[in-house]
Structure 1
Amino acid sequence: MSTIKIGGATLNQMPLDWAGNISNIKSAIQDAISKGINILCLPELSITGYGCEDLFLSHWLPEKALSFLPEIAEECINITVAVGLPLKYGGHLYNCACVIKDQQILGFTAKEHLANEGVHYEPRWFSSWQSENDAHININDNQYVLGQPIYNIDGINLGIEICEDAWQNRRPAIDYAEQNVDVILNLSASHFAFGKKKDRENIAIPASEDFKCVYVYTNLLGNEAGRMIYDGEILIAQYGKLIAQNQRFSFENYQIVSTNVAIPRLQTVSHQDIIDEDINKSPLQNDFTSKEEEFAYASALALFDYLRKSWSKGFALSLSGGADSSACAVMVSQMIKRGVEILGIETFLSKIHREDLIKKATVSDNPVKFISSNIFTTVYQGTKNSGDATFDSAKNLAESIGATFYHWNIDDEVNSYTEKVEKALGRKLKWESDDLALQNIQARSRSPIIWMIANIEKYLLLTTSNRSEGDVGYATMDGDTSGSIAPIAAVDKHFVLQWLKWAESSLGFHGLKDVNSLTPTAELRPPEQTQTDEQDLMPYNIIVEIEKLAIKEYKSPLEVLNILKKKNLEPENLLKAHIAKFYQMWSRNQWKRERIAPAFHLDDFNVDPRTWCRFPILSGGYKLEIEEMMNE
């Protein structure tokens, strides 16, 4: 049976990194040619990067992207390549795929359906292609087709979908199928979210059956612009069967997956012959599937890219011994382990701009711990309200992963601030009347010192707020929220607690033994008050249930009550109180969410108003709605 070789190449790009982006594109094309690939699919907007935001509104950015097409085309010797870029036509900007064959541009496919929900704002920058007819665009005195054409590649009919196009009921592939398209390429910039891999498979694999084609899906890779993570997924399917895929979350600049396929329209073979053919029975690459695995590997990639793309020298962390800061510590260690495993010591250190460590790291008995000690500094900052258990937890975890560990007491700083205020007010501050101020000053007193460490070392300061705290404002602004990046702000506390136990048993982070035995507490009140987070708030599993309905699904307090009381989570009077408390605290603390440090988007929703959930800073606070619920 005669075959062709089809492939996808994921790319780790960055907005405005013209040299890096074009280098990755060229390297991927050259590699594909060396592998004998005939048709190659690159990701959406891979020349500019997807996350250029309002720079897409400029005149020069699309023109700059277009200027690189000739040198990309020069690389396309004996290969057909689809590459993404923005393209201006008729006063509108279109999100396009350029198809190049044998160094010649064949035309441009424009995106029909623009993503405009959740973290996406594409209609702000792009116009959707709505014409049923293709147009023609003049570029450098050459005329090319623009629209949604079918390309003839040596007798093979090729169509293009661009990301969101494939997620719509009325997708371009329907029209392509009516015109006997053999291959559909999907250029995507599909942000990572837990479980989204299955959604993509449910789009790509059935499409190959429904439209009787080879379907190639190629996503972007890495933390491109700061918040969104792209997992670099590549899927190739034919006649309803997944025939090739990669392992996501690579630390490499690009990754290629390819396979041989037969095109039955051009052969004397049947549909069943294709299904039975041995070339479609090669083993598939294993990939990460559980939520715990995805969190570990997506976060490691996000931290790796954020570190190297910001040109920082490492990470600093105020390590309290509790769950949140411990999760951040494990994420950094996992990033180092994964980097060394995938890239090797020298390449990993070169990519994070720490060539100064290569010589010693390569001769170290434990290079991962050596690197950790030189790029990761942790500090336990205790007060008279801190306990030995949290100190031991922090110290043992830091030592187990090799991080530099300092510890000191901040009572002098806290007392200095407190005494000044007491002198100004003419009275002593007491826990009975000044609880919030006395708690917050401890958290805020830690911030300047750890920032000093970060500044001295040229490190990124990790802040440890989780999504549950963001929901209800259970965090001290300019205290535990203070930092450069918030790696767990998009996941709930209930998940963090579960994940830490999984990381101890499944990833081998045995230094988590102590933290996994502790009850979460802020340790800001006197020890005799036995403060715990859930006593201050409500059970974390209840917060998770409420936030899903209230924030993700926009339900009213009464609607939330009617849904949750059927689950028998707790007595109805207590459930009402918790729902009311959640909505009240949510409404009062939008100003805090506006100031959360940049956070990685990990779940299918988050509370970052700059990427997903917008809410007024000032509002009536659901007063009437809460009353209606309480009277139910």
Structure 2
Amino acid sequence: MMNLKIAAVSVNQTPLDWKGNLERIVKGINEAKSADADFICFPELSICGYGSEDLFLSHWYPARSLSQLKELLPHTQGITLAVGLPVRIEKEVYNTVAIIEDGSLKGFVPKQFMAIDGVHYEFRWFTPWPHGKLIELDFFGEKIPFGDQIFNLKGVKYGFEICEDAWRKEKRPGYRLQDRKVDLIFNPSASHFAMGKTEERIDLMKESSKLFDCFYVYVNLLGNESGRMIFDGERILAHKGKILGRAPLLSFKDVVVSYFELSPEKQNPSAVIPKEKEFVQAAALALFDYMRKSRSKGFVLSLSGGADSSTCAVLVSEMVKRGIAELGKEEFLNKAGLKGDFSTEKEIVHELLITAYQGTKNSSEDTFLSAKELAESIGAKFYHWEIDDEVNSYRSKIEKAIGRELTWEQDDITLQNIQARARSPIIWMLSNLNNALLMATSNRSEGDVGYTTMDGDTSGSISPIAAVSKDFIINWLKWAEKNLNQSGLARVNALQPSAELRPLETTQTDEKDLMPYPVLLEIEKLAIRDQKSPLDVYLILKEELTLDSQTLKGYIKKFYQLWARNQWKRERLAPSFHLDEFNVDPKTWYRFPILSAGYSEELKELENFN
């Protein structure tokens, strides 16, 4: 029996918050000591934050991280721990784990494989360490082993795979650790959240512990660390293909600790939750961290009564509800920077969320009531006004300048866009007045095809749902009405999604302008996620969808043409959270040229295919 008690500690860190980051690590150490833990594993790059980006390329930033490690040593008496930081050796920077035992630094283990897909660009900053290589590093006058090595604590031999190391199948370091007969492998990670990803991790932990015949401990970072990526704080213990322990995800706390004993008889795995619940948990935490780390006083939202803006409103409501449930009201208010006497959740939402319905003559009574009832149901401040005067002012100036009247027959896009843009300046005023974050409401499907008005509905400080599809949003709202007790969504869910920018008698709908959202989603997954050509998409979908060939070809052609011509819009969208398996933010997941030939030859091949 291996008599080790392990503390797996997830921390919510922030780049350049040296004092706060160190305090959170020390808090985790002290909590683990109080519980008589033998070993503490912190996540990857937890000293400085994984999201430090090009700060890693400097000389001073890795050096400062080493200084922080030195400051940490006095707090580690009587315990062994692993903590992540960058280390520069001459021209190269390495992503490492430092192992400390009883106040003394025992060694560094650098990452051997870099994550370079999707949201990750690690090769920009870090150099992979070759397996088998071991050198000495000068640490403030002391020579410390640096490289591929294993350690021993109370007769338990242990080693490390750092995040991406474990995902490299036959090349991963675990095989060489197995050859060295380790009993225990730690995986300190900075693994981004995505709906459904935790199931992949669980399978990997099962597979790893079985493959290497050992105990396997996984520890992830927590929270919205630096703006876009969310970390879920996953903590897992696996042994010989079984999950012995697993922690709940997406905590609002800054430091969360799970204790694992290396005993196959003690099993306490938590259940996997549905994607709908994952989405609200992750988005609520991300909004809370974004708000407090940006030192903002809340959110402002142009609430149209439609699906997208209603989703944003509900997410703020859930942020308050979930934060209070976990932290308690006093700590939630303190972290949110709120002062005052609030007796209910609705009163707090009222303080943190300001909404406004900005109608025109093309807006319907249905959407006004939808917005009003939702705002009232969650407690948000609700204003409403008409913007026809502003629209008419812009319109008359242009008509005078060009010497003719604008008409819907000739100037459709222009007349639609000016309404969306006229809403932007006044809602920004509310944001400025309240030092609050303006929420942009575009979803991923709109981002795909540019079905959004630049400097209109794209205006904002943060775009919370830009990484999820409209199809998901529509279905999630129905789920939320029932499962989150959000009764104010009843009217929202009864409406057909519409921009309401054309005259009401045209019965404008989003799907009439574009295509059915489920079809758009299937094309998007194949074209963007799987990077298929237009013809490949057609050949796949003609077997899966009950659409005639010409209609399907038309939808595919529209998607690719709109995708190619609207990259400039995606470059300018407000920062968004990575929430799904993929997104279209060029800073986060998918890069595409702003200027291109727009798949002209590929679409001609599609048209000519029989």
- Give the structure-1-normalised TM-score: 0.95
Give the CA deviation at 1:214: 1.4
Letter in 1 for 2:182: V
Cα separation, 2, equivalents of 1:77 and 1:202: 36
- Is 1:467 the counterpart of 2:451? The answer is no
Cα separation, 1, equivalents of 2:289 and 2:546: 41
The question of whether the paired residues in 1 share the 8 Å contact of 2:131 and 2:173 is answered with no
Cα separation, 1, equivalents of 2:413 and 2:66: 56
**What does 1:398-437 align with in structure 2 at a 5 Å threshold?**
398-437=375-414
SS of 2:411's partner is helix
Cα separation, 2, equivalents of 1:399 and 1:510: 11
Bigger CA drift: 199-208 or 96-105?
199-208
Cα separation, 1, equivalents of 2:106 and 2:168: 26
| Aligned with 1:284 (options 269, 274, 282) | 269
Letter in 2 for 1:245: R
2:572 matched to which residue of 1? Answer: 595
Give the CA deviation at 1:381: 0.3
Letter in 2 for 1:627: K
Letter in 1 for 2:230: I
The question of whether the paired residues in 2 share the 8 Å contact of 1:207 and 1:215 is answered with yes
Cα separation, 2, equivalents of 1:16 and 1:397: 39
Give the CA deviation at 1:154: 2.5
Cα separation, 1, equivalents of 2:275 and 2:545: 26
Q: Deviations over 1:18-62 (max 9, x none)?
A: 011101100001101111111111000000100111110100000
Cα separation, 1, equivalents of 2:488 and 2:537: 39
Cα separation, 2, equivalents of 1:483 and 1:133: 49
SS of 2:572's partner is coil
- Is 1:453 the counterpart of 2:430? The answer is yes
The question of whether the paired residues in 2 share the 8 Å contact of 1:158 and 1:181 is answered with yes
1:172 matched to which residue of 2? Answer: 173
Give the CA deviation at 1:610: 1.0
1:216 matched to which residue of 2? Answer: 217
SS of 2:205's partner is helix
Give the CA deviation at 1:376: 0.6
Letter in 2 for 1:331: L
1:158 matched to which residue of 2? Answer: 158
How many positions carry a matched residue from both structures?
Answer: 608
**What does 1:345-364 align with in structure 2 at a 5 Å threshold?**
345-354=329-338, 356-357=339-340, 360-361=341-342, 364=343
Cα separation, 2, equivalents of 1:433 and 1:199: 52
Taking a change above 3 Å as real, the CA distance of residues 564 and 300 of structure 1, as seen in their structure-2 partners, is same
- Is 1:341 the counterpart of 2:338? The answer is no
1:24 matched to which residue of 2? Answer: 24
SS of 1:432's partner is coil
Letter in 1 for 2:244: I
For structure 1, the residue ranges without an aligned partner over 5 or more in a row are: 263-274
Cα separation, 2, equivalents of 1:88 and 1:625: 46
Cα separation, 1, equivalents of 2:421 and 2:141: 62
SS of 1:129's partner is coil
**What does 1:74-223 align with in structure 2 at a 5 Å threshold?**
74-169=74-169, 170-223=171-224
SS of 1:520's partner is coil
- Is 1:328 the counterpart of 2:328? The answer is no
SS of 1:81's partner is strand
Give the CA deviation at 1:199: 1.1
SS of 1:63's partner is helix
Give the CA deviation at 1:603: 1.1
SS of 1:138's partner is strand
Cα separation, 1, equivalents of 2:592 and 2:350: 41
- Is 1:13 the counterpart of 2:13? The answer is yes
Bigger CA drift: 434-443 or 236-245?
236-245
2:499 matched to which residue of 1? Answer: 522
SS of 2:161's partner is strand
Cα separation, 1, equivalents of 2:546 and 2:3: 58
Cα separation, 1, equivalents of 2:250 and 2:301: 24
Cα separation, 1, equivalents of 2:451 and 2:131: 51
Cα separation, 1, equivalents of 2:126 and 2:260: 34
Cα separation, 2, equivalents of 1:621 and 1:66: 49
Cα separation, 2, equivalents of 1:409 and 1:243: 59
**What does 1:468-483 align with in structure 2 at a 5 Å threshold?**
468-483=445-460
1:443 matched to which residue of 2? Answer: 420
**What does 1:209-358 align with in structure 2 at a 5 Å threshold?**
209-262=210-263, 275=264, 277=265, 280-281=266-267, 283-286=268-271, 289-354=273-338, 356-357=339-340
The question of whether the paired residues in 1 share the 8 Å contact of 2:79 and 2:102 is answered with yes
Letter in 1 for 2:542: K
Give the CA deviation at 1:131: 4.5
2:366 matched to which residue of 1? Answer: 389
- Is 1:37 the counterpart of 2:14? The answer is no
The question of whether the paired residues in 1 share the 8 Å contact of 2:43 and 2:189 is answered with yes
Q: Deviations over 1:419-450 (max 9, x none)?
A: 11111111111000011110000000000010
Q: Deviations over 1:88-120 (max 9, x none)?
A: 224311000000111111100000000111111
Cα separation, 1, equivalents of 2:2 and 2:398: 83
The question of whether the paired residues in 2 share the 8 Å contact of 1:7 and 1:216 is answered with no
The question of whether the paired residues in 2 share the 8 Å contact of 1:148 and 1:160 is answered with no
Cα separation, 2, equivalents of 1:2 and 1:381: 65
**What does 1:473-622 align with in structure 2 at a 5 Å threshold?**
473-622=450-599
Cα separation, 2, equivalents of 1:603 and 1:472: 18
Letter in 2 for 1:603: D
Letter in 1 for 2:195: F
The question of whether the paired residues in 1 share the 8 Å contact of 2:56 and 2:125 is answered with yes
The question of whether the paired residues in 1 share the 8 Å contact of 2:29 and 2:76 is answered with yes
SS of 2:556's partner is helix
Cα separation, 2, equivalents of 1:67 and 1:630: 62
Letter in 2 for 1:244: G
Cα separation, 2, equivalents of 1:19 and 1:568: 56
% of aligned pairs identical?
55
Give the CA deviation at 1:133: 2.5
Cα separation, 2, equivalents of 1:520 and 1:514: 12
SS of 1:351's partner is helix
Cα separation, 1, equivalents of 2:547 and 2:577: 32
Letter in 2 for 1:258: Y
Give the CA deviation at 1:188: 0.2
Q: Deviations over 1:437-466 (max 9, x none)?
A: 100000000000100000001100000000
1:626 matched to which residue of 2? Answer: 603
Cα separation, 2, equivalents of 1:428 and 1:558: 43
| Aligned with 1:380 (options 357, 362, 365) | 357
Cα separation, 1, equivalents of 2:358 and 2:91: 57
Cα separation, 2, equivalents of 1:18 and 1:71: 11
Cα separation, 2, equivalents of 1:349 and 1:568: 50
Cα separation, 2, equivalents of 1:520 and 1:111: 47
SS of 1:252's partner is coil
Letter in 2 for 1:94: Y
The question of whether the paired residues in 1 share the 8 Å contact of 2:94 and 2:111 is answered with yes
Give the CA deviation at 1:7: 2.1
Cα separation, 1, equivalents of 2:153 and 2:260: 17
Taking a change above 3 Å as real, the CA distance of residues 445 and 123 of structure 1, as seen in their structure-2 partners, is same
Cα separation, 1, equivalents of 2:593 and 2:2: 61
